[in-house]
A and B are shown apart, each in its own frame.
Chain A
Amino acid sequence: MKIAIASGKGGTGKTTLATNLAYFLSEKENVTLLDCDVEEPNGHIFIKPEWVTEEKCYLPIPQVNEDKCTHCGLCSQACQFSAIAQVKDKILTFPELCHGCGLCALLCPSQAITEGFREIGTVQIGKKNNLNFIHGKLRVSEAMSPPLIKEVKKQGKNRGITIIDAPPGTSCPVIQSIVNSDFVILVTEPTPFGLNDLELAVGMVKELNIPMAVAINRADIGDNRVQEFCAKENIPVIMEIPHSYELARCYSQGNLAVQELPEYKGYLQRIWDGVKKELAR
């Protein structure tokens, strides 16, 4: 079973929920936590896993053999990403623009293009007690995170419960993180920014046709328009946690609330019951 935790707006508490829920569940079940926020992965700060393996992840890019190239121009006409260009009788490649689709090499009539590789980041696999932990770290200055996210998910295929911590936003890295999940928990806060970004995130999850629920953090700080929106859209609110200085402090130190604040376990149990209830429908 794959449960993704997403949000639209950043800083609403995705990682807090993902790490604590995964750790909490791993006390009784086989759980894997995938940190798919490869641009700014933070899950490991809280889980503190022992690393087992580390592997670099690459994206294929074209390498042109100038001796074989006849400068027919087919590759540069076909590339949708302007990653290969013909200037007079020279072929230029722009590896950082390449999406690694392989079309240029397939099209080249004189087999002048082979594929090299560009490093996009690292995938690390670790363990903490019973919990399997996998994350990706995007190489700084690399723009394309979705292929690295895909690799994290590939490494994380297992039979038990998989918790996915998604990046903020609603575009391709988030889609890649939550696609093929069985359920999405959207974490938000009851502020105008939280609501606006929740509306976008709900639209995205609906497009992907995945059942979802909402968890509201700092539930007492703003107004009640998030609750009204969820009621109108028929989206279950499976948890509301009030603003807590202790929780913020625990987070700031990189500690798991489930280990430090006994009352937090109750919230996690309620969330998990809520998810199971929704999935049983």
Chain B
Amino acid sequence: MKEIVVLSGKGGTGKTTITASFAALAHKKILVDCDVDAADLHLIFKPTVLETHQFFGGKSAFIDKDLCTACGKCGEICRYDAVNLANKEINKFLCEGCSACSHFCPTGAIKMEDDLSGYWFISHSPYGPFVHARLGIAEENSGKLVSLIRSKARALAEKEKAQLIINDGSPGIGCPVIASITGADYVLIVVEPTLSGIHDLKRVVQLANHFNIPTGVCINKIDINPQMADKISRYCTENNIKVLGSLPYDNCVTKAQVAQKPVVVEYPEREISKKIQDLWKEVEKALS
């Protein structure tokens, strides 16, 4: 079984657009949306949810106001500025659930409670089984949720005898991204030809190298700035990274999104669809 992750560093470069088209092109696969705090793939797949599960990401501290004497000990210990002593409250957005306050409260007024941080789903989609999640509003532990849905996807792949898992990643290089690439077989980085795009590409490449994961690059919206695209190609050559494809800017991408279809399904005759098909063939080669 092979696991590929589509990443970008910078947001909005086309990860989900490309993943959705891969979903339509690949045979016998499991699809995963690892961007759990701003998931979008379901808008294209319009999945039928088969299973819904709760996700408890961690704990949060709560003050029992009747027992609290406002002594301030918790505030001294908390390193996250989460204690509001005047209101005898813990700011749930800042609390990391470490439980230090609860251990040292002299009156036992602080309890730790399990945090329902979101939901994860196994769904049926027109393009294959789909594992996805919804992190609760303003919740933390997105990395834990990503690790969880990836392990569920692997189990599902074994059950369905699928040889491939396609993960749509999130922007950045932090906790959820690290959780989405550890143990994966291949990272495809979608980059746009802008100075910011190059800057962010380099940091994702460093991250993938750190975890020893082979990496390929796709340059999206190449016509925005062909000179920058050349710069990206040069950087990739110098660093032994293969540019697997480049895609033109085409407003049919937005139209396909509005129609809730992968680009290759809605506009199969457009140049961009042909380029995405070529890209997918290159990815398959790189995977084998």
Q: Which residues of A contact B (CB under 8 A)?
A: 7-12, 15, 37, 39-40, 42, 45, 78, 80-81, 99-103, 106-107, 138, 140-145, 167-173, 175-176, 179, 191-193, 196-197, 200, 203-204, 207-208, 221-223, 248-249, 251-254
Contacts and interface: CB of A to CB of B under 8 A. Distances in A.
Given A8-B38, A173-B174, A252-B193, A101 B254 contact: no
B225 A252 contact: yes
B137 A40 contact: no
Contact of A103 (B99, B176, B193): B99
A107 B101 CA distance: 12
Interface in B1-20: 8-13, 16
A80 B98 contact: yes
Which of A10, A78, A141 gathers the greatest number of chain B CB atoms within 10 Å?
A: A10
B125 interface: no
A251 B99 CA distance: 45
B263 to A, nearest CB: 13
A39 B260 contact: no
B257 A222 contact: yes
Interface in B205-232: 206-207, 210-211, 224-225, 228
A252 B137 contact: no
B103 interface: yes
Contacts of B211: 141
B39 to A, nearest CB: 8
B93 A169 contact: no
Nearest to A104: B100
Contacts of A176: 94
Contacts of A171: 37, 135, 138-140, 142, 176
Given A170-B137, A196-B40, A45 B199 contact: yes
Interface of B: 8-13, 16, 37-40, 43, 58-59, 77, 79-80, 93-94, 96-100, 103-104, 135, 137-140, 142-143, 170-179, 192-197, 199-200, 203, 206-207, 210-211, 224-225, 228, 251, 254, 257-258, 260
Contacts of B258: 191-192, 222-223
Nearest to A38: B174
Contact of B98 (A39, A103, A200): A103
Contact of B11 (A9, A172, A191): A9
Given A143-B143, A143-B178, A101 B98 contact: yes
B16 A193 contact: yes
Contact of B260 (A107, A144, A192, A208): A192
B214 to A, nearest CB: 17
Contacts, number: 189
B43 A11 contact: no
A9 B11 CA distance: 7
Nearest to A99: B96
B178 A141 contact: yes
Contact of A101 (B79, B139, B206): B79
A91 B193 CA distance: 49
A192 B45 CA distance: 13
Most buried by B among A8, A81, A193, A207: A193
A50 B69 CA distance: 50
A143 B211 CA distance: 13
B140 A172 contact: yes
Residue from B39, B173, B174 whose CB has the most chain A CB atoms within 10 Å: B174
Nearest to A243: B251
A121 to B, nearest CB: 10
B77 A106 contact: yes
Most central of A39, A45, A196 by chain B CB within 10 Å: A39
Contacts of A42: 10, 196, 199-200
Contact of B195 (A175, A203, A222, A254): A254
A36 to B, nearest CB: 12
A254 B43 contact: no
19 contacts: A11-B11, A37-B172, A40-B200, A80-B59, A141-B211, A142-B174, A144-B174, A171-B37, A171-B135, A171-B176, A192-B260, A193-B43, A196-B40, A197-B38, A221-B251, A222-B254, A251-B194, A252-B197, A253-B194
